[in-house]
Amino acid sequence: MNKHNIIIVEDDEITALNLNISLQKHGYNVIAICDNVTQAKNKISTLSPDIVIIDISLQESNDGIELAKIVKKKYDLPFIYLTSYSDDEIIVQAKQTEPYGYIVKPFDPSSLHATIQMALFKYDLENERKEDINSLKVDKLNLEKLLYSKRASDKPIVPFGGNYHLDISICETFYKGKKIKLTKKENAFLRLLVAQLGLVVSFEQAMNYVWDEHGATENSVRTLVWRLRNKLETDIIKNASGIGYYIEE
């Protein structure tokens, strides 16, 4: 196992000591132990750990949650909360920071190790997904070129789905010559499908192109497709289960 560097942020000296011993036994490098937010921020900034373990209730307050927000936003590092059964009232606040796991006090060394490994795995997976999303981004200029290449003649008309056509000069969709009234997002998604006829448009591609990465989720895409299907005369949008949607070429 590669030795991962860990910073512990815990103001209880005994708990911090036990964590340090347990982590070292499992092959981790504990590069700093901090008992307050200011010290933790300095160490994280200078030492660049692989993961941070944070006590939610630093100095009997929710300073751990505030620190976690900084770790996530400024440093983009995975973090795990230390918590106890008496922390139930602030768990809701803690969840909003999207931690990579929880360790309950008094902690079990095996569970500690498993939680860290899962957190690191999840973090790496998310980074890979971000890279995949970037590689799947559909550039607006390239999309226009794709649409242009699919014209049936020298006119700006792209036929699809039987009796439909897209007029790329005015960004409007027609069925048997009659215009279909679509919202801006519906129209953008349909253009994405038509530009890639016969190919699956993934959820990631849809979210990046239609919403331009502003808070969209897979459910946002599903809702958009449901509305769009209700406006189209025939069922031309097909499901690629768990992946996305497509229109047959």
Question: What CA–CA distance (Å, rounded) separates 109 from 113?
Answer: 6
Q: How confident is the model at residue 155, as a pLDDT?
A: 86
CATH code 1.10.10.10 region(s) in the chain: 140-247
Q: What pLDDT score was predicted for residue 93?
A: 85
Region(s) of the chain under CATH 3.40.50.2300 = 5-134
Give residue 126's pLDDT: 81
Q: Quick one: which H or E segment has residue 147?
A: helix 140-149
Interhelix angle 203-210/218-231, nearest 10 degrees: 80
Question: Exposed e or buried b for every residue in 140-167, given b needs 16+ CB within 10 A?
Answer: eeebeebbeebeeeeeeebbbbeebbbe
pTM of the model: 0.56
CATH fold of 140-247 reads Arc Repressor Mutant, subunit A (1.10.10)
Give the pLDDT confidence score for residue 224 in this predicted structure: 94
| CATH T-level fold of 5-134 | Rossmann fold (3.40.50)
Q: Phi/psi class of residue 163: alpha, beta or left (left: φ > 0; alpha: ψ in -120 to 50)? A: alpha
Stretches in the chain below the pLDDT threshold 50: 136
pLDDT at 78: 94
What confidence score (pLDDT) does residue 211 get? 85
pLDDT score for 134:
52
The pLDDT of residue 234 is 93
Predicted pLDDT at 137:
53
pLDDT of residue 209: 85
pLDDT number for residue 46: 93
Q: Are strands 5-9 and 51-55 parallel, antiparallel or unpaired?
A: parallel
pLDDT in the model for residue 249: 83
pLDDT at 95: 85
Query: What pLDDT shows up at residue 71?
Result: 93
Distance from C-alpha of 121 to C-alpha of 4, rounded to nearest angstrom: 12
